[in-house]
């Protein structure tokens, strides 16, 4: 019996406020190659209203305790209780000083949580519970304290010594060592603590705030990466300006530092005044980074910067409230990206990600509400649901309240709770008050898991000129939640006349209006909306802008979809119509249904997009991309990923052939001329040209194969080079192999680019991809210690290559399970993430389900499994409801 409840779960309902406050903490680090010593001096006091007999408990994990002093008195071994989870002192005064000495071996810390080494430097990762791997401390987000930190290390090896706040003192010490003292004026929870030491290059700049204060900006990278931080620096300045202009929020310290490290479990971390980033989201140069990488750098730089208010100044009471900071900050990041680029393209990409990452999670045994109510390992809850469904929930407040009230609400929330650790309820209350709305029912978005489905049916009464939309909402069962209450759902919609014109919307009983988009509010399981004054039956445009994270079910005809693709005034709805048309055509092929007119419909729809007079190249590239395999799989009760791949590739090849001349014209017209530039028109041109090249690679014509090879060899930038290389990785001829060898030869000393070399092969559509992944895992450049490399091979294969991963032999599953078990002994956080593809077993046919479950079982039964992996595999094996 595998039951995740066998391991202690933390429950939201068990929350109790902290019994002790930490008024101040003074940390001293002595960094060494063999071991590092940490001395912590804390001023503690019993919280008001707490029982005077409550013992003091401090969290601690994987630590060696060297000494402990209470008010200057050394404590003996029987004065306290030491366990694997921490330290308890039974009797303490109401106010006292505690000094704790711990010894660490950062060089052996492969979990990359707490203090560890990356390349030649020391760095920390404390969110969520890494600080307890540095010293004994009440390591919970509702304990805020003032930190001072002194770092002492070898001067030659570690000339740069950084921590949060301002550098207030420095000096030399014996044996070629030196030290720097940092003081952070803002009280913070321990998860925002950071320390970095190394021999680092610094790129400095300045930013003048709206009120005229000068802020120093400093990006620290290893010397080999000098010269690749310009884009991140400019992105930071844009983010600072945007937050001032949009939310009236100004940076609150004199210095903002960012350090890039090559070994990192996630994307980046918002430590107060000292962000630590995965190199992937800082470094960017045209030769090494794609346009998508440049955009991701800007987005993640913005995300971490925005946390300075939403997360740092106002933080979470407990980790169940994680979406309080993450959902809100992802939404702010999305708004920033929309403001910096094309809002419609951004929205399409957000929805694509939600559908490929969050919808499957919501339909799996790992489904959980945006605010979970129990966990074994909090690291497993940094999920697509908490982050991006959480952001969709914030977007719905924005839709329901309107932009002005929304911004006022966020500002009021930040003022009211400044310096506090609060709950999602506090946010909701403030927004309800500011918007003058009752959001009680809306709160169900936080507590009920699962993706609601909207079933829309319509009727037209020609005599009365009346059009009725009937909407039924349902939400499938999820673990522990067999039945759901109706959600409060904003449904943005419009009606399109037969001539393609947007029709004014007049609901029965309302005066004549001019609005052509409206937000209908669904609150009951079934509702009807009656529109009047219509001369003929309109085509409904539903869920404009993707106004809610739901699945829409309306029985459009193929012709309606083609019509909306051309005429809808809403860019998202146009894109969606095209995607749905392609979904149908591909799924008919999966079912062995071959309709002659199908290809013709798609061909005409695609040609229409390209012939549109005001063609926006980047929107066109989105519209002409076929729906992803994972999204196609979701449309089926039980999917066969190999059949889906074959059907999709078949349609791609036919569209390639039918439109070959068009693709060639598009390719040569849109490829930017002259040297590389990072400008919207150039980016859009590369995107559309590379999409065309993708189709051309499927024509089978020698001239097109050569076109791909030529682009690889002539490209002056990574976008074009990688686009060609990934098409070459689908082939296995001599030219393709030569290009892969060339790429490896050229980039083997640049880790982020070498990751791309691994990734394109792990995602290859060639039938031999599985065997190739097996050999990549034995490649001398593969390294289980580095999360980016693990994600580039194992992650890319298991999540990004469904047809190979789900090979009917089951070899893909076995290979994944073997590597999860090995990785778990090094880095449980990353190992648990790699196990997620197996949790989706219900979605596949029975023979595949069987092997997937066998592999989950094999992992679950392995001795000394981490809590992280144990929780994922044991939940995965449970029945949904
Ligand atoms: N708070 C970080 C962010 O979203 C996430 C993060 C970074 C993280 N590193 C982590 C979460 C390690 C858990 C573990 O910006
Ligand atoms: Zn975040």
304, 377, 629, 709: which one is catalytic? Answer: 304
Query: Could you tell me which residues are beta bridge partners of residue 140?
Result: none
Cβ atoms within 10 Å of 586's Cβ, excluding its own = 23
Ligand 1 atom with the smallest distance to the CA of 307 is: 15
Q: What is the mean pLDDT of each run of 10 residues along the chain (881 residues)?
A: 67 98 98 98 96 96 98 97 97 97 98 98 98 98 98 98 98 98 98 99 98 98 98 99 98 98 98 99 98 98 99 98 99 99 98 98 98 98 98 99 98 98 99 98 99 98 98 98 98 98 95 93 98 97 98 98 97 98 98 93 96 92 98 97 98 97 97 95 98 98 98 98 98 97 98 99 98 98 98 98 98 98 98 98 97 98 97 90 52
Q: To which H or E segment does residue 260 belong?
A: strand 255-261
DSSP 504-543: PP-BTTS-----S-EEEEE-SSEEEEEE---SSPPEEEES
Calculate how far, in angstroms, residue 304's C-alpha sits from the geometric centre of ligand 2. Answer: 6
Ligand at shortest distance from the CA of 383: 1
The angle that helices 718-728 and 751-762 make with each other, rounded to 10 degrees, is: 30
Residue whose Cα lies nearest atom 15 of ligand 1: it is 269
CB-ligand 1 contact for 268 (6 Å cutoff):
yes
Ligand 1 atom with the smallest distance to the CA of 264 is: 9
Helix and strand numbers (H, E) in the chain are 30, 31
Ligand 1 atom with the smallest distance to the CA of 829 is: 14
pLDDT in tens, 300-354: 999 999 999 999 999 999 999 999 999 999 999 999 999 999 999 999 999 999 9
pLDDT in tens, 663-700: 999 999 999 999 999 999 999 999 999 999 999 999 99
Ligand at shortest distance from the CA of 325: 2
What length does the chain have? 881
CB-ligand 1 contact for 125 (6 Å cutoff):
yes
848, two tokens: 């595949």
Cβ atoms within 10 Å of 234's Cβ, excluding its own = 15
Burial of 429 from C-beta contacts in 10 A (0-12 / 13-18 / 19+) = middle
446 close to 393: Cβ distance less than 8 angstroms: yes
Write down the pTM of the prediction.
Answer: 0.98
CA distances from 830 to 96, 192, 278, 486, 766 (A): 39, 21, 14, 36, 27
Asked whether the domain spanning 453-548 has the same topology as the one spanning 315-447, the reply is no
Q: Which of 125, 192, 791 to mutate to test the pocket of ligand 1 (most atoms within 8 A of CB)?
A: 125
Of the candidates 328, 327, 323, 349, the one whose C-alpha atom is nearest the C-alpha of residue 338 is 349
CB-ligand 1 contact for 868 (6 Å cutoff):
no
CA 435, CA 487: separation in Å to the nearest integer? 19
Calculate how far, in angstroms, residue 168's C-alpha sits from the geometric centre of ligand 1. Answer: 28
Ligand 1 atom with the smallest distance to the CA of 304 is: 15
CB burial readout 135-169, b (16+ within 10 A) else e: bbbbbbbbbbbbbbbbbbbeeebbebbbbbbeeee
Q: What is the mean pLDDT of the chain?
A: 97
Phi then psi dihedrals of residue 783, to 5 deg: -150, 115
Calculate how far, in angstroms, residue 718's C-alpha sits from the geometric centre of ligand 1. Answer: 28
Phi then psi dihedrals of residue 703, to 5 deg: -60, -30
Coil, helix or strand at residue 87: strand
Residue whose Cα lies nearest atom 11 of ligand 1: it is 127
Q: Which of 263, 266, 381 to mutate to test the pocket of ligand 1 (most atoms within 8 A of CB)?
A: 266
Q: How far from the centroid of its chain's Cα atoms is residue 580's Cα? A: 25
Calculate how far, in angstroms, residue 185's C-alpha sits from the geometric centre of ligand 1. Answer: 23
Q: To which H or E segment does residue 92 belong?
A: none
User: What's the first-to-final CA gap in the chain, in angstroms?
Assistant: 17
DSSP conformation class of 628: P
Sort strands 526-531 and 374-375 into parallel, antiparallel or unpaired: unpaired
Q: Residue 1: its pLDDT value, please? A: 38
789 close to 783: Cβ distance less than 8 angstroms: yes
Ligand at shortest distance from the CA of 275: 1
Q: Residue 613: its pLDDT value, please? A: 82
Residue whose Cα lies nearest atom 1 of ligand 1: it is 269
CB-ligand 1 contact for 382 (6 Å cutoff):
yes
Calculate how far, in angstroms, residue 692's C-alpha sits from the geometric centre of ligand 2. Answer: 35
Angle at CA of residue 269, ends 370 and 759, nearest 5°: 85
Q: Residue 2: its pLDDT value, please? A: 41
CB-ligand 1 contact for 269 (6 Å cutoff):
yes
Domain 453-548 bears CATH identifier 2.60.40.1840: yes
Of the candidates 676, 756, 799, 627, the one whose C-alpha atom is nearest the C-alpha of residue 291 is 676
CB-ligand 1 contact for 75 (6 Å cutoff):
no
Q: Mark whether 304 is an active-site residue.
A: yes
717 close to 679: Cβ distance less than 8 angstroms: no
CA 881, CA 482: separation in Å to the nearest integer? 6
Phi then psi dihedrals of residue 36, to 5 deg: -125, 135
Ligand 1 atom with the smallest distance to the CA of 326 is: 4
Q: Residue 880: its pLDDT value, please? A: 60
Calculate how far, in angstroms, residue 765's C-alpha sits from the geometric centre of ligand 2. Answer: 33
Which class would CATH give 315-447?
Answer: mainly alpha
In the chain, what are the domain boundaries?
315-447, 453-548
Calculate how far, in angstroms, residue 382's C-alpha sits from the geometric centre of ligand 1. Answer: 7
């Amino acid at each position: 019996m595998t039951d995740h409840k066998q391991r202690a779960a933390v429950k939201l309902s068990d929350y109790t406020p902290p019994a002790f406050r930490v008024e101040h903490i003074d940390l001293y680090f002595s960094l060494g190659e063999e071991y590092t010593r940490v001395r912590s001096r804390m001023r503690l006091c019993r919280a008001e209203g707490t029982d005077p007999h409550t013992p003091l408990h401090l969290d601690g994990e994987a630590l060696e305790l060297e000494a402990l002093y209470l008010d200057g008195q050394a404590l003996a071994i029987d004065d306290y209780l030491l366990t694997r989870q921490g330290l308890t002192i039974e009797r303490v005064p109401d106010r006292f000083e505690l000094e704790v000495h711990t010894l660490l071996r950062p060089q052996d810390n492969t979990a990359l949580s707490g203090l560890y080494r990356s390349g030649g430097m020391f760095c920390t990762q404390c969110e969520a519970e890494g600080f307890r791997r540095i010293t004994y401390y009440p390591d919970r987000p509702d304990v805020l304290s003032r930190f001072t930190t002194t770092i002492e290390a070898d001067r030659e090896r570690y000339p740069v010594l950084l921590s949060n706040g301002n550098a207030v003192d420095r000096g030399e010490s014996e044996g070629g060592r030196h030290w720097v003292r940092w003081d952070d004026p803002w009280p913070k929870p321990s998860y925002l603590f950071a320390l970095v030491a190394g021999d680092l290059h610094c790129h400095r700049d300045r930013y003048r705030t709206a009120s005229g204060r000068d802020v120093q900006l400093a990006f620290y990278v290893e010397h080999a990466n000098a010269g690749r931080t310009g884009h991140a620096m400019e992105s930071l300045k844009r983010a600072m300006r945007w937050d001032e202009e949009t939310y009236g929020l100004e940076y609150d310290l004199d210095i903002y530092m960012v350090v890039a490290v090559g070994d990192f479990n996630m994307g980046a971390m918002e430590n107060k005044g000292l962000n630590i980033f995965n190199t992937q989201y800082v470094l960017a140069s045209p030769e090494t980074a794609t346009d998508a990488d440049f955009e991701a750098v800007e987005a993640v730089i913005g995300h971490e910067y925005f946390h300075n208010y939403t997360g740092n100044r106002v933080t979470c009471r407990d980790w169940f409230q994680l979406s309080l900071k993450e959902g809100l900050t992802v939404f702010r990041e999305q708004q920033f990206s929309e403001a910096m680029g094309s809002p419609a393209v951004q929205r399409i990409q957000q929805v694509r990600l939600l559908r490929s990452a969050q919808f499957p999670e919501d339909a799996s045994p790992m489904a959980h509400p945006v605010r979970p109510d129990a966990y074994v390992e909090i690291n497993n809850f940094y999920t697509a649901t908490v982050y991006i469904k959480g952001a969709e929930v914030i977007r719905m407040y924005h839709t329901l309240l309107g932009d002005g009230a929304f911004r006022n609400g966020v500002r009021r929330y930040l003022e009211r709770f400044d310096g506090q650790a609060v709950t999602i309820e506090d946010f909701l209350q403030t927004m309800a008050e500011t918007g003058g709305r009752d959001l009680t029912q809306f709160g169900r978005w936080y507590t009920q898991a699962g993706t609601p489905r909207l079933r829309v049916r319509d009727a037209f009464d020609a005599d009365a000129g009346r059009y009725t939309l009937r909407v039924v909402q349902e939400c499938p069962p999820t673990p522990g939640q067999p039945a759901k209450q109706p959600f409060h759902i904003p449904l943005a919609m419009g009606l399109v006349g037969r001539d393609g014109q947007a029709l004014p919307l007049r609901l029965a009983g309302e005066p004549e209006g001019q609005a052509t988009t409206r937000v209908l509010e669904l609150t009951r399981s079934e509702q009807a909306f009656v529109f009047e004054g219509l001369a003929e039956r309109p085509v409904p445009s539903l869920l404009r802008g993707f106004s809610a994270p739901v699945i829409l079910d309306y029985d459009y005809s193929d012709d309606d979809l083609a019509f909306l693709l051309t005429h809808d005034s809403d860019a998202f709805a146009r894109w969606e119509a095209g995607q749905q048309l392609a979904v149908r055509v591909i799924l008919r092929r999966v079912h062995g249904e071959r309709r002659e007119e199908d290809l013709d419909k798609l061909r005409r729809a695609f040609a229409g997009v390209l012939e549109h007079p005001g063609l926006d190249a980047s929107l066109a590239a989105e519209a002409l991309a076929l729906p992803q395999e994972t999204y196609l799989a979701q449309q089926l009760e039980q999917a066969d990923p190999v059949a889906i791949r074959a059907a999709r590739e078949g349609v791609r090849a036919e569209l390639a052939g039918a439109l070959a001349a068009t693709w060639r014209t598009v390719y040569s017209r849109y490829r930017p001329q002259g040297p590389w530039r990072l400008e919207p028109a150039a980016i859009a041109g590369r995107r559309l040209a590379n999409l065309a090249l993708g189709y051309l690679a499927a024509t089978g014509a020698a001239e097109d194969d050569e076109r791909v090879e030529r682009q690889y060899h002539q490209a002056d930038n990574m976008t074009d080079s990688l686009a060609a290389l990934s098409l070459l990785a689908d082939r296995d001829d001599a030219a393709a192999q030569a290009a892969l060898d060339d790429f490896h030869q050229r980039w083997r000393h640049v880790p982020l680019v070498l990751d791309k070399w691994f990734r394109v092969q792990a995602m290859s559509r060639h039938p031999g991809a599985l065997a190739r992944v097996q050999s990549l895992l034995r490649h001398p450049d593969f390294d289980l210690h580095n999360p980016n490399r693990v994600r580039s091979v194992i992650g890319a294969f298991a999540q990004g290559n469904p047809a190979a991963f789900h090979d009917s032999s089951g070899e893909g599953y076995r290979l994944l399970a073997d590597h999860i078990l090995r990785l778990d002994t090094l880095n449980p956080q990353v190992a648990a993430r790699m196990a997620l593809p197996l949790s989706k077993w219900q979605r596949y046919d029975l023979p595949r389900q069987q092997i997937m479950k066998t592999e989950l079982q094999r992992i679950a039964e392995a001795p000394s499994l981490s809590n992280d992996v144990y929780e994922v595999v044991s939940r995965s094996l449970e029945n949904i409801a």
